[in-house]
Chains A and B, each alone.
Chain A
Amino acid sequence: MKRLAVLVAIFAGLGLLPLLVGSDFWLNAIMLALFSALIGQAWNIAGGYAGQFSFGHALFFGIGAYAVAVLQVDLGINPWLGMLVGGALGAGAGAALGWLTFRYGLRGSYFALVTLAFAEVFRILANSTPFTGAGEGILIKLNPHPAMLQFKALSGYYWLLLALTFACFLSVWWLERSRLGAQMLAVRDNEDAAAAVGVDAFAVKLKAMALSGLFMGLAGVFYTQRYLYLDPGLAFGPTQSVEALLVAIVGGIGTLFGPLLGAFALHLLGEAAQTALGDVPGANMVIYGTVLVVMVLFLPRGLASLGKAGLGKAGGRRQGLRRRKRRAKDA
Chain B
Amino acid sequence: MLEVTALTKRFGGLVAVDGVNLSLPAGGISALIGPNGAGKTTLFALITGFHRPDGGCVRFQGRDVTGEKPFRIARAGMVRTFQIVQPFAGQTVRENIAVGAHMHLSDRAEALARAEEVARAVGLSDRLDRDAADLTVAGRKRLEVARALATDPKLLLLDEVMAGLNPSEIRDVIPVIRAIRDSGVTILLIEHVMQAVMELSDHAWVLNQGRLIAEGAPRALAADPAVIEAYLGHGMAERLAKGAAHA
Contacts and interface: CB of A to CB of B under 8 A. Distances in A.
Interface of A: 177-179, 182-183, 185-186, 189-190, 192-201, 323, 326-327, 330-331
Task: Enumerate the 8 nearest inter-chain pairs by beta-carbon distance, A residue then B residue, closest first.
Answer: A193-B86, A189-B88, A198-B103, A198-B74, A195-B70, A197-B100, A186-B99, A198-B75
A173 B75 CA distance: 28
Contact of A194 (B79, B89, B98, B99): B99
B90 A195 contact: no
B240 to A, nearest CB: 38
Interface in B66-88: 69-71, 74-75, 79-82, 84-88
A326 B90 CA distance: 12
Given A196-B48, A197-B147, A197-B151, A186 B88 contact: yes
A190 B88 contact: yes
A25 B89 CA distance: 45
A190 B108 contact: no
Contact of B71 (A190, A198, A327): A198
A190 B85 CA distance: 11
Contacts of A323: 89-90, 133
Nearest to B104: A198
Contact of B108 (A182, A185, A189, A193): A182
Contacts of B89: 189-190, 323, 327
Contact of A196 (B79, B90, B95, B111): B79
A140 to B, nearest CB: 43
Given A186-B88, A189-B89, A190-B88, A196 B148 contact: yes
A104 to B, nearest CB: 15
A326 B133 contact: yes
Contact of B99 (A177, A192, A199): A199
Contacts of B102: 179, 182-183, 199
23 contacts: A179-B102, A179-B105, A182-B98, A182-B99, A182-B102, A185-B95, A185-B99, A189-B91, A190-B89, A193-B87, A194-B88, A195-B74, A196-B50, A196-B70, A196-B86, A196-B148, A197-B147, A198-B71, A198-B100, A198-B103, A199-B71, A327-B89, A330-B85
Contacts of A192: 50, 70, 82, 86
A192 B148 CA distance: 13
A179 B108 contact: yes
Contacts of A195: 50, 69-71, 74
A162 B150 CA distance: 41
B108 to A, nearest CB: 5
A193 B151 contact: no
Nearest to B76: A198
Nearest to A192: B86
Contact of B95 (A182, A326, A330): A182
Contacts of A200: 69, 71
B168 interface: no
- Which residue, B69, B74, B75, has most C-beta atoms of chain A within 10 A? B74
Contacts of B85: 330
Contacts of B81: 196
A198 B148 CA distance: 9
A185 B86 CA distance: 14
Given A179-B102, A185-B91, 18 more contacts: A182-B111, A183-B99, A183-B102, A186-B88, A189-B91, A190-B87, A190-B88, A190-B89, A193-B82, A195-B50, A195-B70, A196-B74, A196-B79, A197-B150, A197-B151, A198-B100, A199-B103, A326-B133
A327 B134 CA distance: 11
Contacts of B111: 179, 182
Contacts of A330: 84-85
B43 to A, nearest CB: 15
Contact of A190 (B75, B79, B86, B150): B86
Contacts of B166: none
B65 to A, nearest CB: 13
B106 interface: yes
A195 B95 CA distance: 16
B123 to A, nearest CB: 20
